[in-house]
Structure 1
């Protein structure tokens, strides 16, 4: 009887998105991931940099399944004279799509405070130029949910430059199967890999290759998979978000196979085998070119690793904003991994 791991994947996604983890602030979420893999009977470990590595089994021709668990976020750049915070972005966080979003500020002392990112002078009843103002982090501020009126009030709370600012993911799954959340890129893929690990353990799945999971923590700033990869690996398959947008074939219900992105083409033989597996399995898939995209697979190559490389992922709409995917995209991605790696 074929088992469905969708509910497990969605449950893991909700747990993962509930743990704030912008690049540089990932210890709590990697601890959680290590614990989940141990619960499944595996023996994961962390690299010195903080990535999670776990061997799932199999023999010969080792392949790395890479996903990243770090997200976009903000960091305090200035405690302003009015007691509010100017932030700068971590990764590709865009001021246009996090205006009015609730957030948490994590201090170095361990205290956590609530706030909201707002335009400077955000009341339409007061500011006649509100609609004309450009949305940039220079013109926005985190308004703290504390009784502060000046810089010294905020500093007395222990808030200072360099504190991390983490935005509410607002994760929800609709009755129609749509998955909406910040940071589906790439926590949805991490959840899928946890689901694949569970399938291997539950069903004693025989893999046709040795398989590693490698969860990175600095992908959003460019150097996630630049080091500490398993030395015997011959291939890296990045499991990351599939792009959805104008000019692309992918939708949220499909698994996307990337043929080329801003770093150049992916390995022809890997991409071809992925396409053949998708065809043979009758999966809903798309092959696309991503014009503004880079992956951990390419980071590994740029770092000098001699690996074949590929990229797949569930389709994600509105990337780097309030993102959306679908359970069908999850299922198609999960099944493609199974077909690509399972012993026939």
Structure 2
């Protein structure tokens, strides 16, 4: 668990909004190389690592390194910036957050994401105005009072903006932005280290994707012999949900439709048999790399599970117990025979 938490910290502190994830992917590559695990890079930039197994059929596990972020949409006459979202979130979820603007030359400028008029001393509407793309701005840590001065500083439309993760590990809790899905990336990296030493019943492919937050990650580039596609993502917590921060969350259905019921039953039976704490849940406003693969036409049986993440797509939190339960269930499942029963 100490290794997993350390890996999460290292990952979330690498800026990797969707479309700008090369550094996070390089981190994954170095980890795989250090373990002697073979991999290849796909054309979209994702990494596919492979472990040998005894069967011709294969399992694939995926987690994504891309995170929420933003892009400079407009440079305002005041010198501040207006943003376009990368991924989906509420503007209130990032208000007051420190950020970095990644210039095309590779350098960065820091700033803060704020309401246009955020001072209660100058506006009586600060507490009630609706937060939208038209009134959320980036206040740059530059001496700039005009759009021209901001451009002279090397900032342009299309520059990527990343959010300060604010990682904290306290009392077993891990608090940070971007636990979706870097918590699961960390789990898969640690499992890869263990699985490479084992005699696996099926070949295992580990796909570290980089476009999940915009819906087309993980939908191509994996071998045809993959029969089971397991997305290791997050369990979304909230009103009406069963998942929590102390169990592994197994998804029955999300916004893309139901997941394979045979694999789901296999996961739940395995968790009950081995005493792994779990919850089955439905995520109404959610999709995954597994559902993207099925939507792209791949003939695979797909499933989704992961640690329970509180305040998803905001300032997120999970607990070591949830990380451990996810790790344990995956570590047992990889050795189980495939269940070909499609209808239960």
Q: TM-score range by the shorter chain?
A: over 0.9
| Counterpart residue number, 2:155 | 159
| Counterpart residue number, 1:71 | 67
| Counterpart residue number, 1:196 | 191
Whole-Å Cα distance in 2 between the matches of residues 52 and 93 of structure 1? 26
1:128 Cα offset (Å): 1.5
Residue by residue, what CA displacement relative to the aligned partner does 1:169-191 show, whole Å, maximum 9, x if unpaired?
111111x2011111111000000
- TM-score, length basis structure 2: 0.96
User: 2:246 aligns to what SS in structure 1?
Assistant: coil
Q: Does 1:298 align with 2:291?
A: yes
| Counterpart residue number, 1:138 | 134
Whole-Å Cα distance in 2 between the matches of residues 59 and 114 of structure 1? 51
Whole-Å Cα distance in 2 between the matches of residues 150 and 120 of structure 1? 15
1:37 Cα offset (Å): 0.8
Whole-Å Cα distance in 2 between the matches of residues 273 and 209 of structure 1? 16
Q: Does 1:45 align with 2:57?
A: no
| Counterpart residue number, 1:309 | 302
Q: Does 1:56 align with 2:54?
A: no
2:203 pairs, out of 184, 205, 210, with: 210
| Counterpart residue number, 1:179 | 174
2:225 pairs, out of 214, 225, 232, with: 232
Residue by residue, what CA displacement relative to the aligned partner does 1:233-288 show, whole Å, maximum 9, x if unpaired?
11100000012111222110100110111111111111111111111110110011
1:58 Cα offset (Å): 1.8
1:126 Cα offset (Å): 1.2
1:343 Cα offset (Å): 6.4
- Contact 1:242 / 1:315 at 8 angstroms: preserved in 2? yes
| Counterpart residue number, 1:277 | 270
Whole-Å Cα distance in 2 between the matches of residues 200 and 295 of structure 1? 24
1:90 Cα offset (Å): 0.5
1:227 Cα offset (Å): 1.3
Q: Does 1:102 align with 2:98?
A: yes
Residue by residue, what CA displacement relative to the aligned partner does 1:23-80 show, whole Å, maximum 9, x if unpaired?
1001111011011011011012210100110012323220100111100100000000
Q: Where do 5+ consecutive residues of structure 1 fail to align? A: 1-5
User: 2:71 aligns to what SS in structure 1?
Assistant: strand
| Counterpart residue number, 2:316 | 323
Whole-Å Cα distance in 2 between the matches of residues 124 and 33 of structure 1? 45
- Contact 1:81 / 1:151 at 8 angstroms: preserved in 2? yes
Over the aligned positions, Cα root-mean-square deviation in angstroms equals 1.1
- Contact 2:219 / 2:290 at 8 angstroms: preserved in 1? no
| Counterpart residue number, 1:3 | none
- Contact 1:205 / 1:342 at 8 angstroms: preserved in 2? no
User: 2:206 aligns to what SS in structure 1?
Assistant: strand
User: 2:156 aligns to what SS in structure 1?
Assistant: coil
- TM-score, length basis structure 1: 0.96
- Contact 1:206 / 1:343 at 8 angstroms: preserved in 2? no
Whole-Å Cα distance in 2 between the matches of residues 225 and 341 of structure 1? 20
Whole-Å Cα distance in 2 between the matches of residues 106 and 277 of structure 1? 45
User: 1:54 aligns to what SS in structure 2?
Assistant: strand
Whole-Å Cα distance in 2 between the matches of residues 230 and 323 of structure 1? 34
Q: Where do 5+ consecutive residues of structure 2 fail to align? A: 338-344
Whole-Å Cα distance in 2 between the matches of residues 223 and 170 of structure 1? 28
1:200 Cα offset (Å): 2.1
User: 1:115 aligns to what SS in structure 2?
Assistant: strand
Whole-Å Cα distance in 2 between the matches of residues 160 and 183 of structure 1? 25
Q: Does 1:32 align with 2:27?
A: yes
Residue by residue, what CA displacement relative to the aligned partner does 1:137-160 show, whole Å, maximum 9, x if unpaired?
210110000100001110001100
Which stretches of structure 1, 4 residues or more, deviate above 4 A after TM superposition?
A: none
Q: Which segment is superposed worse, 225-234 or 321-330?
A: 225-234
